[in-house]
Amino acid sequence: MENNLKAIYLKIHVLLLAFQRRARAYRRTHSKVYLPNSETHILVQLDSNPGISAKELAEILTLEKSTISRLIQSLEKRNLLSSTISANDRRTKLLRLTHTGSSILKDIDEAVRDTIVRFLNVLTTREESRLHYYISMLADGFNAKPHKIRPIDHPISVELRRYTRGVGML
């Protein structure tokens, strides 16, 4: 039984990698703006947690501080996020989406949702529920942190984000 479960998780992992490649290609052609996963995850977190610090963001996304700093600078240069110095600690930057960042995230969210719905169309409700369960279990197995669900989020996209972060695919 345990070997069977391991085989299922391995197959799901391989399928998730293939899904991510296809979803990325789909978003490139169907989204007005394409951002890499790491930048998209930052925008999603800022949407869920306005005013979050760079340090907290790095912890949530399980990225190195230097990587987060570089990504923040890039997004700030393109006016997708803004940073302000914390009144409590002048060494801390608080991050927020700009209007442009919110608009781009809305477009990305719609493309992601369309992608997931399109790929899940072939599954029954029961199969979709089982897929959600397995992705959630995989994310838990990699100690992926919980993720706030936003109204636009498909439940499977939330678990996919957790899984992506958990296995270090940003």
Tens digit of each residue's pLDDT (9 = 90 or more) over 65-80: 999 999 999 999 999 9
How many Å apart are CA 30 and CA 166, to the nearest integer? 27
Q: What is the pLDDT of residues 7-59, one digit of tens each?
A: 877 887 787 777 778 777 777 776 677 788 899 999 999 999 999 999 999 99
Supply 84's token pair: 């302000």
How many Å apart are CA 137 and CA 129, to the nearest integer? 12
Sheet strands side by side (includes 81-85): 52-53, 93-97, 81-85
Overall average pLDDT of the 104-112 stretch? 89
Integer-rounded Cα radius of gyration of the chain: 17
Choose between 25 and 63: higher pLDDT.
63
How many Å apart are CA 101 and CA 157, to the nearest integer? 20
pLDDT for position 42 = 96
Best CATH choice for the domain 49-123 from the list 3.10.450.50, 3.20.20.70, 1.10.10.10, 3.40.630.30:
1.10.10.10
How many Å apart are CA 116 and CA 121, to the nearest integer? 8
Please check the confidence at residue 154 and state whether its pLDDT lies above 70.
Answer: yes
Cβ atoms 121, 40 nearer than 8 A = no
pTM for the whole thing?
A: 0.85
Q: Which residues contact 45 (CB under 8 A, 6 or more apart)?
A: 52, 57, 60, 61
Q: Which residues contact 57 (CB under 8 A, 6 or more apart)?
A: 42, 45, 46, 68, 72, 95
